[in-house]
Chains A and B, each alone.
Chain A
Amino acid sequence: MIELSLTQAIGYTIGGFLTLCIFSFLYKDNPLYKFAEHLFVGTSAAYWFVTFYHNIIRPNVINQFKEGNYWPIIPVILGIFMLFRLVPSLSVLSRMGIAFSVGVMAGYQIIRHLETNILRQMGATMQGFDKISFTAGNIGNAINTILILLVVIAGLVYFFFSVEHEGAVGGVAKFGMWMLMITFGATFGYTVMARISLLIGRVLYLKEQWWLSIKYLLGI
């Protein structure tokens, strides 16, 4: 049995009410959903504003300046440039911040992606071949290793844009597409199960916390 305080009971009741407002969208758009939607958008926008201030501006700018570190002035200036969008004659300056941000991230991520998404995957595809053996007991692993190689090659052929998917290339690309679809099917099932568990969590919330809160507030 959950022990409730008045504050908790009020909080759970509002939470349950808003959950039902959002669920009412399953029937059709209605004033309750509109109310919850606008409340959600408004409060979340405000919440993120406060979060950004406390997690980014205060530790990285204000506290740094207080400690005598003035290097953050550079990103601050780039950030202020973004606000120049409001001044038509200076709006071109706003692009500098975006260009800096995109350029730095592209340079930073290209190395990471090259290493993790290309080179390591290439190595992992080859790795099984050092122990490949078609003797009894190893045949399953051998087939698996060869299948991984074939699927990787077929997948790459599917995403090859320089030639039309016709003839032999088309056949390999089609095999790649089938493999992708099998993967997507498995992912779909897995993710749907995760979503169902979220729904169960929400229904349990309504059944336990929310219902208890209502009984508490009504004095039942």
Chain B
Amino acid sequence: MRKAVGVLLFLLLGTVLIYSSSDVSSLKVRDVPYDGGGKLVVSWNITAEEEVGNIKIFQKINGEDWKLYKSTNKLVDKMKDNSVNHKNSYKYKIEVYDKEGNLLFTKESKTITPGVAFYNVGKTAVLVSLLIIGGLIYYFISAARRGQKLKIRRIPALDSLDEAVGRATEMGKPVLFVPGILDVKNPQTIAGVLVLSEVAYKTANFGTDLNVPVSKPIVLSTANDTVKEAYMRAGRPDQFNDDMVHYVTNDQFGYVSHIDGYMVREKPAAVFMLGAFYAESLILAETGHSIGAIQVAGTAMPSQIPFFITTCDYVLIGEELYAASAYLSRKPDILGALKGQDYAKLLIMIAIIVGAIMTIIFPEFHFAEIFTDIG
């Protein structure tokens, strides 16, 4: 009996010793706490008697097959896996190879499911900046409502509005307004529709025809209400008709072919293209240029602005489109919002300069990561 117990203890001790001697290398996976459930940290520490050539890291999602995640030759390292989702479980494995490509050993981690925290600490920078920018906008809107004068610099493209509509009136030709091809959920479309309000107000005052083809049903509804309200504001509701704003098609190039056809047939004297544009920008602007219309364009699509610059008389570049409605309407709410954003930009400039100086002086603090490493 004693012999049997002795042998058993010996085997048990031997197993423990063998296990611990091969466990010199480790692979650990841990969840990043207080995040949105989208991050895991995988760390490894390889110690092998043979010279290690390559280390392959594999990932298994929900018990499915292993998939190669990364290859490295670093014996001690960690990586942040940002591709994970809190709805799945994950397991990692490392395969360690020698210089000849022979497998030395493998190591597997425990299975882990990323946890979701109520408050994502990594997003604190977003919350703080949202509060600062929101606070500035709120302050300036309140100031504008109290009657404080808020100054905005001259935007030359917007001074051309009267010129463009006036020219169309003199020539007895219509004004064409294209509010882009995205839905009203897009801020550029909203900015375009706000400028439409001012253009419609002017066409109502001058008694000029206005044509607004749209490519989205909800934009139809919004633009129609906007034009109708502008005509009522100008005291000319009799001149408004529902056909001024009309739906064409959701299809990008179908919409463009219709507007191109309209332009060469009706030859509008003024063409406004304000909103979100993609590949159709040059097709529209070039046709407008070929009929000799005075063209005012504006978009925040960086790849389309060059086409408008080459073919239009006046262009609102990027954020100028958003400033346009404040500039034209001088409404306290919009002016205050623009002013608030301006001061937010000033803070951003200061933060970038201070951040760059701090990074030079204290590179070990990785100051930039406050802004880039958002959870």
Contacts and interface: CB of A to CB of B under 8 A. Distances in A.
Nearest to B151: A162
B353 interface: yes
B368 A127 contact: yes
Given A159-B320, A162-B342, A85 B261 contact: no
Contacts, number: 177
A10 interface: no
Contacts of B279: 195
A114 B257 contact: no
B323 A161 contact: yes
A129 B126 contact: no
B99 interface: no
Contacts of B222: 98
A44 B370 contact: no
27 contacts: A29-B264, A33-B261, A41-B248, A48-B249, A82-B217, A94-B221, A98-B184, A98-B221, A102-B184, A110-B130, A119-B126, A119-B374, A122-B352, A126-B371, A129-B368, A130-B360, A149-B353, A153-B352, A153-B353, A157-B349, A159-B319, A161-B153, A161-B327, A161-B339, A162-B343, A191-B306, A195-B282
Given A29-B265, A36-B257, A114-B126, A122 B371 contact: yes
Contacts of B187: 106, 109
Contacts of B339: 161-162
Contacts of B343: 162
Contacts of A141: none
Interface of A: 22, 25, 28-29, 33-34, 36-37, 40-41, 43-45, 47-48, 82, 85, 94-95, 97-98, 101-102, 105-106, 109-111, 114-115, 118-120, 122-127, 129-132, 149, 152-153, 156-157, 159-165, 180-181, 183-185, 187-188, 191, 195
Interface of B: 123, 125-126, 129-130, 133, 151-155, 184-185, 187, 190, 217-218, 221-222, 224-225, 248-251, 253-255, 257-258, 260-261, 264-265, 279, 282, 302-303, 305-307, 309-310, 317-320, 323, 327, 338-339, 342-343, 345-346, 348-349, 351-353, 355-356, 359-360, 363, 366-374
Nearest to B320: A159
A28 B249 CA distance: 23
Nearest to A48: B250
Contacts of A47: 251
